Amino acid sequence: MKYFLAVCCFVQFHVAGQYIRHTSEINDTASKSCFLQYENDLFVHTDRYYSQGIALGYKTSISVESRLNRLFFKVPAGKKRLGLGLNQQVFTPTSIQSDSLLDHDRPYAATLRFTSVFETIDTTNHRIFGWQFSVGMIGPAALGKETQTGIHKATNNFLPLGWQHQLNTGLLIDIGTHVNYRLLAIRRWLNVDLNAQGNLGTGNTSLLAGGTLNLRMVKNRFELGCYFKPAVRLVGYDATLQGSLIGSKSEYKIASNQLERIISEQETGIRLRLGRFSMETWLRFQSRLFDGVLNHRWGGIRLVFSF
């Protein structure tokens, strides 16, 4: 049972932040942990669309006596986990060397969000039930231009142009739910999970169904493994393309009838755990989000410390 918790007690979900994971999938032997995550498409030698994402997070167990228990799904003997995360994401068109507005391309956009996650782990039936709430901003207040410019300066790269055309400031408020179910487990080295997620809000409205195949080797405080995560997402609204539903009108945005409503996503990654420290790195593929653009890929790395 403890291996179910160690690998699966925090499901990956693409909530308001779309790609940021606000809880750890690697190690749950400690009651608390913190993480740092960074994603960038430069890992696959591109610089477009979802350009980069930075996140900080913290998770902790919730005691039976805590008043916060009323915020969790009720499951007999279920273990409660609270996750808190702050993340910034930056989106750009195909070229960041043009100062002109690039029509029929992804608009410049940046988001800054705070997310809280409430999860209940049913250890008897190997299930997870959770919900999450996210609030933040899209537009200049999210400091996307400043972040990208600073990174390009630090790496002696050309400075990005065209940020004056980014989506205007708007409020992002999203609420979502997710469930994870252990379909198959073979001893300690293989497991297959199914998951479903839903999100509704001014930033992102979508449904997602997917699965996870985990292969791993565990010995005492050491763990090495790999995974594959296919998913299909049904898109209702995406503020990083269309602007927030609460905010000023933008110079340029993607029309609703241009959106691809069904998105395919696959992720392949490697995990390593040494005692309290764990690391994960991955590559992610995403089919095109609207007419006229390309499929996209990016890479990421995540560091977790448990205490």
Q: Which of 24-33, 122-131, 203-212, 296-305 has the lowest mean pLDDT?
A: 24-33
Phi, psi of 51 (to 5 degrees): -80, -45
Q: How far apart are CA 69 and CA 62, in angstroms?
A: 7
**Alpha-carbon distance values, 40 to 20, 66, 275, 282, 297 (Å):** 12, 38, 27, 11, 9
User: In order of start, what are the domains of the chain with their CATH numbers?
Assistant: 2-306 (2.40.128.140)
pLDDT tens-place string over residues 62-89:
988 888 988 998 887 788 999 999 999 9
The answer to whether residue 265 scores a pLDDT higher than 90 is yes
Q: Terminal CA-to-CA distance of the chain, rounded, Å?
A: 21
33 with 59: CB under 8 angstroms? yes
In terms of Cα–Cα distance, which of 287, 280, 299, 131 is closest to 201? 131
Region 266-278 average pLDDT: 95
Q: What would the mean pLDDT of 27-39 be, rounded to a whole number?
A: 79
The residue among 236, 123, 228, 133 whose CA lies nearest residue 180 is 123
Can you say whether the dihedral through the CA atoms of 71, 72, 77, 83 is positive or negative?
Answer: negative
Bridge pairing between strands 170-186 and 190-201? antiparallel
One-letter amino acid of 22: H
Mean pLDDT of 237-251: 94
- State how far the Cα of 156 lies from the Cα of 223, in Å rounded to an integer: 37
Burial of 88 (0-12, 13-18, 19+ CB in 10 A): buried
Nearest Cα neighbor of 117 from 132, 134, 96, 99 is 132
Give the CA diameter of the chain.
58
Task: Compute the distance between CA of residue 92 and CA of residue 51 in angstroms, rounded to an integer.
Answer: 6
- The torsion angle over the Cα atoms of residues 115, 225, 214 and 123, rounded to 10 degrees, is -60
Spell out the residues 6+ positions from residue 67 whose beta carbon is closer than 8 angstroms to its own.
Answer: none
Give, in degrees to the nearest 5, the angle at Cα 26 between 134 and 198: 35
pLDDT of residue 15: 44
Both tokens assigned to 72: 């969790």
Which residues make beta-bridge pairs with 230? Answer: 266
Mean pLDDT of 16-39: 64
Rounded-to-integer distance, Cα 59 and Cα 15, Å: 17
Residue 2 pLDDT > 80, yes or no? no
Q: What is the pLDDT of residues 88-114, one digit of tens each?
A: 999 999 999 999 999 999 999 999 999
pLDDT the model gives residue 187: 83
Q: What is the mean pLDDT of residues 229-250?
A: 95
Average pLDDT of every residue of the chain: 89
Tell me phi and psi for residue 260, to 5 degrees.
-80, 120
Q: Encode pLDDT of 153-207 as tens digits.
A: 998 988 999 999 999 999 999 999 999 999 998 988 999 999 999 999 999 999 9
Residue 24 has pLDDT above 90, yes or no: no
Both tokens assigned to 228: 């594959």
Residue 287, classed as helix, strand or coil, is coil
DSSP annotation string for 267-278: EEEEEEEETTEE
pTM: 0.90
User: What is the per-residue pLDDT for 69?
Assistant: 87
